[in-house]
Amino acid sequence: MRICIIGAGLSGLATAFYLRKLAPQAELVVYEADARAGGTMRTDVVGGMRFEAGANGFLTSKPDCLQLVRDCGLGDRLLRSSDAMRTRYVYHDRLHRLPSGPRDFFATDLLTWPQKLRALCEPFVSAAPADRDETVREFGDRRLGAGVSRVFLDALCVGIYGATPDRLSMRAAFPLIAALEREHGSLLKGMLARRGAGGPRGVLTSLHEGLGELSARLAETAGVEWRWSTAVRSIDRASAGFVVSDDSGPTSFDRVIVCTPAYAAAALLRDLDRDLSQLLSAIEYTPIAVVGLGYRAGQSAAPSGAARHDGFGILTTTASRAPILGVVWESNVFPGRAPPGQRCVRVMIGGQRNPELVERDDAGLIATARAGLERVAGEDPVPDAVFVQRWPRGIPCYGRGHLARIAAIDTRLVQWPRLHLNGNAYRGVAMNDCVRNSRELAGRLATGTLGEPT
């Protein structure tokens, strides 16, 4: 069987890796428009500092990434985040320590006492109809009150999706939280039940040289034919499969797995299936820019007083009107990201709040990052190393109607049983989701449980 994989981000890499393990007889060809693997999973070194272009790690509450790292021989390279990262901050009217438990929740001045009492009424709130696709804000306002939504849920959404609560579907973006209401009738009751069952608690984990180390190893060990710096122009139907065309000409395959972002998949499939292409085009993306700043010994890039370099970082709320989405103290979270005595941070800019900021040039983004640090952290030292990465369409935004759209995409794909879509635009944006979906797809292909054309 000759299989084409388009895109060598995490989903494409994991699909290729597990297909090679599970179907060693298959002939695998991977197209990648870039000159290297990884997509957003890339680590750059600037001035001795390591900066992640995208995610800075994965949680061990799910086994998928851990297993992939071990399967590809990097188990001894795993790097657990420092215990210092357990402390997090949110910038609202000023800098606040994020509550880490019930006692902190009652002590925080992020909420008024009426807002805290409203949140305590959550177990008595009726569940929404099963067919209602609420936004995160609607869900939070109904169950916990507007105060919690506009502080805690706002920060949660920006930290994961770079989006605001009114732009995300609760069931699609946070299915585990939505399931607590569906299964237990209450978030509090559901959390207590899961705690009693001993549910897993994850630790943020990376590799010693960053996530780019995983990208490089997967590319080295995948055992495929690589077509680097090769952009696919079209996918056309053939008598027994598909014809994939790039600038050098067409190539025939029995199966095609498209692991590009949804908007790129839409362009590739426009001539093959216009309805499918339109469904893919409707998946929205959030623009985001990452600015890394490195500081030599003696300089600081963390708040004096409250944070004292002892936390993971800071998220900002929409109400704060801060020019940045958040800050991560990278060298504090993962030792070794900066040389001894030095520090590096990453600042996130844009998102659904201020998408226009992502269009600024490098100097403008660096100035925005420094202004944001001064606003939320109270300091603005001159950096010795800078890193800038723009993602004009960075993170899929699982908006209202996302689950219905995915169901419609699945329906369209029924008529194309040898065509597969895989990536973070469909069923989870986290690294663990991407790896799990890729491994399961490879397993179904290897066992022949995906069906054949009639």
Distances (CA, A) of 247 to 12, 271, 283, 438: 21, 17, 27, 28
Q: Is 145 left (phi over 0), alpha (psi -120 to 50) or beta?
A: left
d(CA 266, CA 412): 13
State residue 199's pLDDT score.
52
Amino acid identity, residue 406?
I
Q: Packing angle between helix 212-221 and helix 10-22, nearest 10 degrees?
A: 30
Three-state SS at 238: strand
On whether the CB atoms of residues 325 and 336 are closer than 8 A, the answer is no
**pLDDT at residue 9 tops 90:** yes
Residue intervals of the chain classified under CATH 1.10.3110.10 are 104-195
With H, G, I as helix, E, B as strand and everything else as coil, classify residue 110: coil
As a whole number, the mean pLDDT across the chain is 93
With 60 as the cut, is the pLDDT of residue 101 above it? yes
Q: What value does the mean pLDDT take over residues 81-96?
A: 89
Q: What percent of the chain clears pLDDT 90, i.e. is strictly above it?
A: 86
Alpha carbons 406 and 448: distance in angstroms, whole number: 23
Strand order in the sheet with 419-421: 225-227, 27-31, 2-6, 255-258, 419-421
Name the token pair of 96.
């606040």
Q: How confident is the model at residue 450 (pLDDT cuts 50, 70, 90)?
A: low
Q: What proportions of the chain, in percent to the nearest 5, are helix, strand and coil?
A: 40, 25, 40
Residues 6+ apart with CB under 8 A from 209: 43, 50, 77
Domain with CATH 3.50.50.60 in the chain: 2-41+215-272+416-447
- So what's the pLDDT on residue 296? 87
Q: Judging by beta carbons within 10 Å of its beta carbon (0-12, 13-18, 19+), is residue 1 exposed, middle or buried?
A: middle
pLDDT in tens, 56-74: 999 999 999 999 999 999 9
Residue 83 pLDDT > 60: yes
Q: Given a cut of 80, is residue 39 above it in pLDDT? A: yes
Decide yes or no: CATH 3.40.50.720 for domain 2-41+215-272+416-447: no
pLDDT in tens, 365-406: 999 999 999 999 988 889 999 999 999 999 999 999 999 999
pTM of the model: 0.93
Q: For the domain covering 104-195, report its CATH number.
A: 1.10.3110.10
